[in-house]
Chains A and B, each alone.
Chain A
Amino acid sequence: MDKFDVIVVGGGHAGVEAAHAVSRAGMVCALITFDKTKIGQMSCNPAIGGLGKSHIVREIDAMGGIMPLATDMSGIQYRTLNTRKGDAVQALRVQCDRKLYKEAIQKIIKQTDIYLIEAEVTDLIIDKSFVKGVIANGKEVKAKKTILTTGTFLNGLMYTGSEVTKGGRVGDDSAIPLSKKLYDLKLPMGRLKTGTPARITMSSLNLSVMEEQPGEKPTPFMSLTNQAQEHQKQMPCYITRTNKNTHKIISENTHLSAMYSGNISGIGPRYCPSIEDKVFKFSSKDSHQIFIEPEGIGIDLIYPNGISTSLPKKAQQEFIRSIEGMENAEITEYGYAVEYDFIDPRTNKKTLETTFLKDFYLAGQINGTTGYEEAAAQGLVAGINATLSIQNKDPFILNRDEAYIGVLIDDLTTHGITEPYRMFTSRAEHRLLLSQNNAEQRLLTKAYNLNLIKKERYQNYLKREEAYKNFVKNTLEKTKIKTFLNKNNDTVTLEEKRSLYSILTRPDVEENKLIKIQEDEKVFFKRASVEIKYKGYIDKQLREINKNKKQNNKKIPSSIDYKNISGLSNEVVEKLTQSNPETIGSAAKIEGVTPAAINLILINIKKLELQKINA
């Protein structure tokens, strides 16, 4: 093959999702990565989903992506979080078998016509400002578009105490020449860091003293497409806690931690602190929770979630053995912190194409994010847009009110990052619109129009939507009753008969005892009751969205110079200049930008347009 449509560099979560999206849309794609056997490798904790993240995975699912499929092919414990809260903030978290997950991804990739190339990419082929391909193991590989998804590998350095090893992940290389190349291009780059805990053999633990946390029954699925498929054997997780003695050991050794000794300049995520951080910053707490998560079926290994560390090996062993149930813990691999390069994502467009080089896209941890789901979502967006660009079609951009993926991309490209970026539901101001359960309603039509899903799936979906509408009309609106049970199990008698629909709007009604619903309509009933509960809020949000839609979508020309807009404060000028927002909507989201400032920008855009016409 002398020329591909798209080259994807990196076989991590961003890379595989990008390559698969490209190939789904019928393009010829090459996936170049260090080590074929590590494609789809989970570098850190073997779990997919969780708050804000399962939302993303379901969106990927609706776009025909592969992460949700691999999750179900390898899931060993499923749990829905926030069950006592409403639908929009519930999230599915799946513990996966690390090995099975990787195998699942590799299996899915093999079923496509993606070219796998095992090589190190050391350079880009640049012609003027266009990227024409890459140099892999010294050879040129050319393509119309190149997507870089190198994760934590760019100049990756791993720290354990005072030991420093080159690599983006334990047992892997570090991409040093490529990092150097990017620095030579004078791109806006920085260092970030993250950490991981030690791995311990399961057989060395005394699980009987720990709290067992079983998975959910009946076991749900992450992907909505293959509900009939069987689950892997399910396994429980366990919970134990650190104690005063643990904290004492950690405190005594904190000065030896790589993170504290001043070796690391990168910024770490505040929501993923190391155990030495937790003990230091929250010294009033004398115990922290640890989840003992199995690494897989028949694998004698656990991942102790909650004690990520870069302490020296001896101290790690000592504090781990001070924890209840871990007194004889056998450590197979010690915890470490990893520091790596990222590129300021504000230099990307919302398509994830960079503004400094054309035909060149960045996706995944290289953009300053952390997490498999965030990486996969970006891979998907970059893959789709690279394809669309080759086809000369309009770019694919999701709005903040359409998807968490839209929130993710907008946050990254307009606000940039100050620490490794992870998704949380509170980042989405339209959270109530974006449930993990309505991703298909939000995205499936788009996916179908982009050729990302099969016709059959789309038709089934349309049929289901039709059936749902009928259910609401024929069952909920037409059935009228006079009495119902409230949440205290008391009978409430109404003055006159009311429809089930209107009774469901009441906060006191006990939904589960309202009527007998047939098994196959239970999903519909649940969906309807959620939609009814949210209706008032959603109407409000939709009004807000529509009110400013035209204005928010208005493009800000790149030629705008905020310094020349009289009336904007220096602080606002600086922020706008740095963020370089693409649209008025994005600009309005920047801290400190007032409605008056937005008006000034609008007037100036118009002024620029007029000057163009007159010139």
Chain B
Amino acid sequence: MSVVFALATPPAKSAICVFRVSGHGCLDKIKQITGCELKRARTFYLRSFLDAGGGVIDNVGVVFFKGPNSYTGEDSFEVYAHGSLGVMSLIVDVFKGLGFDEAPPGEFTKRAFLNNKISLNEAEAVVDIIDSSSRESVYLSSKSLSGTFTDLVVGFSKKIDFLRMGVEGEIDFSDEGEDFLDGALVGGLKKIVVDFSLFVDGCVNKKHYSSKNKVLFVGPVNSGKSSVFNRLLGFERALVSSVAGTTRDLVESELFYSDASFSLLDSAGIRETDDLIESRGISIALEQIEGADVVVGIFDSFDKNVLNKFSKLTKGKKYLTVYNKLDLGPPNQEVFDCLVSAKTGEGFGELKNKLASFFKVFDRSDYSFLVRDRHISLFNSSLKCLKDALLKIEEGGGLELVAEDLRLARGFLDEVVGVKTSDSLLGDIFSNFCIGK
């Protein structure tokens, strides 16, 4: 089977991250990655991790396992690197450059099962993973990359199919006296390349935010949102002051807890205000509710009207109400999900658990991040093929090579929009052109 890799630790900033690589022939590449040979299996080596040009990306730990004595039963190795997102993405690039594939969910366990390393019971669990992952990936993709994500990709694949119809028609039915391309190939291709590039760029930008679970803090001014935010992070990220209306911009930071990664967003307290900048901050906060996965309301007193107002604002979102400043005394009504004190740290264990529980679906593994990353890399590969096709036409290369680039470009979208069989492609040709003697 091919060589696959996956990030075994969550795709969030952390002390270290671990990559697993498995598959026949992967050990031969260690030398390329680290610049030297490793002698003994199951031994921890400290080495430099090199990029394709030989530059050092990070100092890492490497351990290799000789099949069948490994988790998957295949030759495999693990890389322990520093857990910054930058390092992770560079390592991913190197692996891809070596021809490794990103492992789909459950791949390692599947291989372990196929190589007799784990029992049927464990394998059944993998079936569940694969099963849920396919459901989840649909959920994730449609959610994270805007609601129309799938529609957009389907749209692009249809455009590619349309070009393929012309090109394949021109190849297979060249003596039919039909003009399949109608001079529209180059124009059509250019347009797709431009539109698709914009789309992929958009995905990459969105991914930055949407790859994590977004937790938005809202609440009345001065209720202690920034204080709770800082306490959760463990350091002073947001400015805290006794002046109401301190936080005006959105403040974002990452938190990693119990297998899940969050992106915490502190926002401006909500109140009626004449201050232009502050009111802009408030409207940003309200907009953010739209894109948040979970909204946490922070209150420092019980006021039925205020609570109602907030629950209305967050309609439809997962919503957690938190009473802060517990050290000053409990609320006079037991309506809050959580009671904390940002000052003493009381109640934060429970708050974190409650937050993590919202993300149960995601906490199993890496794919909330990787599935999306996989999509983007598929799009990029597809885009590259479209550009190659354009180049081929400009160079005057054969139409069969243009056809091949288009076929490959379309193939990369299969995973998102499904396979287009040659038969249905031919069907399109027959219904659009008058073919046949």
Contact = CB atoms under 8 A, between A and B. Distances in A.
Interface of A: 45, 51-52, 81-82, 85-89, 269-273, 278, 281-282, 285, 288-289, 291, 305-306, 308, 411, 415, 418, 424-429, 431-432, 487, 507-508, 533-534, 537, 540, 543, 547-548, 550-551, 566-567, 589, 591-596, 599-600, 602-603, 606-607, 610
A51 B395 contact: no
12 contacts: A288-B434, A426-B426, A427-B422, A431-B403, A432-B404, A591-B419, A593-B419, A594-B418, A595-B415, A596-B133, A599-B104, A599-B130
Contacts of B133: 596
A271 B435 CA distance: 6
Given A86-B397, A270-B431, A603-B110, 4 more contacts: A426-B172, A534-B401, A537-B401, A594-B418
B424 A591 contact: yes
A566 B127 contact: yes
Contacts of A426: 168, 171-172, 403, 422, 425-426
Contacts of A288: 177, 434
Nearest to B411: A429
Contact of B437 (A82, A270, A272): A272
B93 interface: no
B307 to A, nearest CB: 43
Given A426-B172, A566-B127, A596-B133, A550 B104 contact: no
Interface in B393-429: 395-401, 403-404, 407-408, 415, 418-427
Nearest to B407: A429
A285 B176 CA distance: 13
Interface in B104-149: 104-107, 110, 113-114, 120, 123, 126-127, 130-131, 133-134
B430 A599 contact: no
Contact of A431 (B123, B400, B415, B431): B400
Contacts of B399: 85-86, 89
B53 interface: no
A547 to B, nearest CB: 4
A45 B437 CA distance: 10
Contacts, number: 151
A488 to B, nearest CB: 10
Nearest to B133: A596
B283 interface: no
A305 to B, nearest CB: 4
B68 interface: no
B400 A89 contact: yes
A55 to B, nearest CB: 12
B17 to A, nearest CB: 25
A295 to B, nearest CB: 15
A507 B397 contact: yes
Interface range, B side: 35 or more
Interface of B is mostly: helix
A182 B81 CA distance: 67
B436 interface: yes
Contacts of A589: 419, 421
A285 B434 contact: yes
A424 B172 contact: yes
Contacts of B404: 431-432, 537
A606 B123 contact: yes
B415 to A, nearest CB: 7
B104 A487 contact: no
Interface of B: 1-2, 99, 104-107, 110, 113-114, 120, 123, 126-127, 130-131, 133-134, 168, 171-177, 395-401, 403-404, 407-408, 415, 418-427, 430-431, 434-437
Contact of A82 (B171, B401, B424, B436): B171
Contacts of A591: 418-421, 424
B114 A425 contact: no
A572 B135 CA distance: 15
Contact of B131 (A278, A428, A566): A566
B235 to A, nearest CB: 41
Contact of A606 (B113, B400, B421, B425): B113
Nearest to B174: A82
Contacts of B107: 599
B437 A306 contact: yes
Contacts of A508: 395-396
A589 B414 CA distance: 11
A533 B398 contact: yes
B397 A603 contact: no
What 5 pairs across the A-B complex have the smallest Cβ distances? Answer: A86-B398, A567-B131, A507-B395, A270-B430, A282-B434
A152 B225 CA distance: 81
Given A426-B426, A602-B110, A607 B123 contact: yes
Contacts of A272: 436-437
Nearest to A282: B434
Contacts of B171: 51, 82, 85, 89, 425-426
A125 B1 CA distance: 46
A278 B436 contact: yes
Contacts of A599: 104, 106-107, 110, 130
A316 to B, nearest CB: 16
Contacts of A271: 173, 426, 430, 435-436
Contacts of B415: 594-595
Nearest to A540: B408
A270 B427 contact: yes
A606 B114 contact: yes
B422 A429 contact: yes
B130 to A, nearest CB: 5
A595 B176 contact: no
A143 to B, nearest CB: 36
A610 B120 contact: yes
A543 B172 contact: no
A273 B172 CA distance: 16
A427 B425 CA distance: 9
Nearest to B109: A603
Contacts of B426: 271, 424, 426-427
